[in-house]
Structures are given as structure tokens and as C-alpha cells.
A and B are shown apart, each in its own frame.
Chain A
Amino acid sequence: MSIALARTAAEEALDFSLPHRRMEEWRWTDLRQMIDKPYPPRQMVTAEQGEVERLLKSSPFAAIAGARMVFVNGHYDSKHSKLVNSAVEPQAEITEPVQQMNAAFATDGARLVLSGSIDTPVELVFIATDAAPRTIATHNVIEVAGGASATIIETHIGKGSYLANSVTEIRIGEGARLDRVKADLESHDATHLAHAHVTLSANVTYREFTLSTGAKLNRQNGTYAFKGEHTDAKISGAYLLAGKQHADSRLVVDHQVPNCASRELFKCVMDDHARSIFQGKVIVRPHAQKTDGKQSSHALLLSETAEFDAKPELEIFADDVACGHGATAGDLNEDHLFYLESRGITPAEAKALLIAAFVGEAFETIDHDGIREALTDYAARWLTEHRRKG
């Protein structure tokens, strides 16, 4: 039995029912309550060029990316893009609210087929410029051909108040390698809803890293389907949150075939009233023997009012597997701080060193030196600015 709920103003504007806390997967992120004002869709906004260029320049990858594809307010920006779309169609089944919303409102998105060995990273930049609150939705389809290797960066930047909905569908062919880096640097007035749908063939190496530090409200889903044997995926993330930021990640790793490995590592740094949630589900299907699946999420709480929730779920139907999960939450270690301070390091600097060391483990999973350094610098700047602020 379902109870009809009166529509909120946000739902009216979208003509769409938002997920809410009575849905198990959304229990910590009740969009009906949290999206507190209307974000009308299909609002064309003419972007001011100066603003676009400023935002583009603020990408930590500006100096690293080889080819760029830029979307401004949900539309392909030919002036700033080097790449054009290929003919590749979405295939993912639309099952969950972020996807449904995207299907209803997506205006554009990257369609890429990557083949051969691409040395320099490809950056997809999603920009939202300052204007009246609105919904911006993009849908990307990325196909990595068999044997190819590539690095793809998704950068989300913006100004003002908006709701960004981003769905990325990734299909990786046999023997290919994809390194995917996603940086959520949205405006602090923004809502970021994302869904990644990743399909992995045999002998694939997949590396994913997400930095979440923008957006006041952030929800990211990821589904990773292992469809070929001897595939290895590492999915990592770092959160740097303060103020009243809220970030909820739900990952479903689905081992459908034997002999694959998955590693999930999430590190969350939270201050003030920030809150983060890590929901990680690992499914091992009956014949997916020799699956090696591990998941861990760790939170560093810098204030007593910050909150971290972890919900690990293991659904294991095969008997010869090595799977595990771990979650921890704590504050900075007093003994560590004292040791550093006893060597002359100021308390503020000691704190920054320990925070950087804590998230560093997640950044270490990024193979590309330039990207890792750019993001590490970005995180260091966050720490300094954050410290200066309070």
C-alpha cells in the first residue's frame, strides 16, 4: 500500500515525485524535505562568457587535461570543447529515482567511444552559471573499447543555487583499463545528484576516485556490474565537508561472475554540522566463486556535531569467496597530535598534517601523478581555507 503524499513545491515545479526517507535507500537523505525550494527544469540560461571562463579556469585539472568537453548549464559548449560526440546509445535500465529524474530532464551529455591507448586525460566539465534556481540534467555514455586504456575526469563546478543531476553510463570492453576521476566542486548552494552505471567485461582494470567537497546536498549512486572474469575494480573516494553539508553515497558492487576483485575505500573528513553517509552493498551471485570483495569507510570527525553513518551490506550467495567490510569513525588521535607538537609543530599545523594523512590513503589510489597532485593540492587548500575560517 502506498500513501499518497501531498506534493512539495519542489515536486510541483519538477512534476516529479522525489525520493524520501521511507524508502530504505533514501532513509538518510530525504529529498522531499531537503530540497527546500523549486528548481524548475528546462530553463534556458544564457551564460556570461567571463563567468564560464572563470569557472573553467578554477578546475584543478586545467593544466592536465588533454582534450576537454564542456557543458554549460546542461548544453554542449562548442567554443570550449575540443571533443565532439560519437554515436553511442544509452543501455542502462532505469530503475532508481536519480536516473528517472535524469531521464525526464536531461538536455545533453557526453557520448564518447574511447579506443586505443589514450595517454592524456579526457576532462568532461559540467558548469552551472549563476542564475535563478533551476534543474540541470546531463546524461553521459562512455564506451571504452576492448583493449583500450584511458583516463577520464568529470569535473562539476558552478556558481549559485541549482540542482545538478548527472548520470554517467560506462561500458568497459575486454582487457581495457579505465581510470575515472570525479570531482564534485559544485557551488555550496547547489544540490548534486549523481548516478554512475558501470559495466565491466573480462580482464578489465577499473579505477575510480571521487572527491566530494562542493554542494550543500550531495547524493551519489554507483552500480558496478562485473560481467567478465578476472576483472579488478578499485573504487575510492574522499569527502571534505563542513558547515551543514550533507553527502550520501550508495554503491552497489555486483559480482556476477567468478574470479574478480573489488576494493572500496572511502575517507570522510567532516567538520561543523556536516554529515556523510556511506551505503555500500556487495552482491556475490551464486556462481561468482573466488570473488575478493572488500569495502571500508572511515570518517574523521573534527567536531562533535558532525555525523557519519555507514551501512555496509554483504549479500553473498557463493561459498568460496573472501569478502569483508569495515567502518570506523573517530576524531584526531591525541597521542599523534602531542607527538607532532612535541617536535615544535604548531597545533594547527599538526592537525592539518594528520587530516592530510587520513585522506591521503584514498588519494594514493589515483595512479595518474598529475591528477593525484592536483587533487591533493586542492584538498590542502580546502584545509587551509577551512582552518582560517574557523
Chain B
Amino acid sequence: MRIHKIVMLGNKDHGKSTLIGNMLMLTKSISQERIDEAKRISRALGIPFEPGFLLDSFSDEREKAMTIDTSRAQLVYKNSAFELIDVPGHEELITNMLTGASSAGTAVLMVSAKHGEGISKQTKRHLLIAMMLGMRNIVVAVNKMDSEGYKIESFGEVRNRLSAFISSAHESMGAVNAEFVPISAYNGDNLISKSENMEWYGGPTLMELIYRYATGTGKRRDIGLRAVVQGEMQGNGLACKVVSGRLFTGQRVAVNPGRLLCTVNRIIRAGRSVPQAGAGASPVINLSPYSIMQRGGVISEATDMPMVGRNFSAFIFLSRIPKNPSIKINGAEAKCHIRIGRELDINTGRLKEGRAVSLGIYRASIKTLDELAFEKFNTLTELGRFTIYDSAGFSGLGIII
């Protein structure tokens, strides 16, 4: 079964862990043992049962009621499988949030309707990052409706304000579909079945929206063959990963950067020779003429090559300002210079003149020391995204536009 990966985004304390915990219980996807354990711990801490404890598994996470790192839980709904990814909503833990979000195809954004909580900077930042990572369908779960007497006005306020923000972000980040659903993660309203507490809401439940978005995001666009070189396999050939199209024996291919023209002689998949390999496969191949291939090189049909160069425009998110950065794209690594352009204003969602600060999203032009092969993010996601590092480690990510 294919598993649809869903990331839960939003400010900390707006109810992500509670939601996932309750969804697991309502769909009977968790053992009684785990539920009993979470109940025991809640009791020991002297608080009412926290469904979030089913996920937050470190003692410090439970005691401080704060998700520190990502965690995952699987459930089945209408014969489809989903993996819900919980990420920290805390500003300092943005790297962990990115780690979780990068593997998901659909996002649920949690916003608490509770008085004093509402839409925060962190809510908007998560939303913009999700848009940047290419998530075009976003379910907005307006949570804690119980603390606002399940009133339509509280829902309406969050919906109106966030819709306005999303529309102004369209211009720079592209359009997204956003659907809003009022819920109480704690009481279970509108999670799997319709709530009787909110008769005024006529739309689908949260799980139904997740189901529609995740299963409906149609087949990915396949451009021609694009396979990424992973490295030499000790004299046995070249390990690579097919990200689009199809490799077959006898095929005339080009390896870029460098425009090496070769023929595919042999394809070995999981130890066996096969005539072809499609997207998702990690075969070992023999090319003739043999030559040393760089990690991160892109194999394509000789007549249909990827973009190759040292300059490109990007949207980048910086978790920290890097010093002497390099970028990594499909295993290739290159020293680079990043020229920061306009900043995406976290308050308005529009581009404005800015200065590089951490936790910002920017338009940027990137110049690399070595030539790289890539695609625009919108053409082929896998070849159009990169990470940014410096000697102190990870400092951001980007997409090629």
C-alpha cells in the first residue's frame, strides 16, 4: 500500500500532537498498551489525559509538553494509508520542522482559535515554508473550538485573516488550495466524524479533507529520463537513482555537467540484470565508453538534457546566516555565493526589500564555483531543490525558480 505522508504544521501549543494522538485512537491505530501508558504518565504528572503523549515520547517532551523532534504515526482511513508527521512548532527547532516537512506531500496547518492564541508569526512561517516546499494543498485546521464555545465567529475570524494572507502570498509563491475546517483536537470534533457541536459547519471532516487532498494529488509530471549519479561501485559500475523517466539498455544518454555521451550497456537492479529501470529505482549501470562520473551528475537522453550552469535564481529559507556557504543538490556539492534579493514579509506575505536575517525567506541569485546539473523546481522537484551548508552545518534550503 502506498503511504500518503502528511505533515502537521503550526505554532507550538496549538494542538498538533493532541490531534495526531486523538486521530490514532479514533481510527484504532494504536495499541491499548500505548494508550494505557500515556494515561499512566498523564496521571503521574497530575494532569488530565493528554492524547499528545502517544507521540511525544521523551520524558522532557512530556513534562514540558513540547515536541522537540519529529515523530510519525500511521493510520488507515477508507482503505488508504496515511503517515502523520508531527513536527515541533517552536522557532528554535525549525530544522527539525524542515526535516519532517521535507518528506510530506500534503500539509495540515493547525491554528488555535482560542482567545490569545490565533495566527502567529510561526503559523505564517510554517505556511510559507510549506508553499515553498511545493505543497499546493493545505488543510487549515482551526483548533480548540471548544474553548470558544464552538462559535462560528471564532472560526470565521481565523479563516478570513489567514485567507487574506494566503492570497497575498500567491503572487510570489504561487497559488495554493486551502480548505478550512473547525475542530477540537482534544474532544474529537470534526476529526473523523461530523461534530454535533458545530451544526453551522457544512463541510467535510478533517480526515476527509486530508484524504481528498492526499489521494487526489494526481500523478506527478514525468519529464524524460533523469537519473542522478550516486557514485562508483568498486569496479562494478555506477550506482544511480532514477528520478524521472526510464533507463534502458542500448539507450544513448548524456551525463551532465560535462556533456559526456554514452550508451547504457547493462542495468543491474537489486543484484540482477534487467532490461530497464523506472523512477524510484536505484540501479547500478555500466556505460560505455567508461569514464569517471561525478556524484550528482545527471543522466538524461542525449537529446533532452537538464539545465547546466553556475548561476540560477532561487527562493531560499535560511535557518541561520551561513558563512562561506556551499549548496548540496542531489549529492553534488559546490561552494557558492548567495546574493540575497527581496525578502518575503512574514506579516504580509509580500516581497519587500530586506536584509539577511535568520529564519527569513528570500529571493536570491546563486553563483556556484563548479558547474551543476539541475532543473527548475516546478519542472522536477527532486532536481530543483537544494540544501545550504557551511562549516557549522545545515543553514537552510532552497528551490530553483
* A and B associate in one complex: no
Q: Name A's B-contacting residues (CB within 8 A).
A: none
Q: Name B's A-contacting residues (CB within 8 A).
A: none
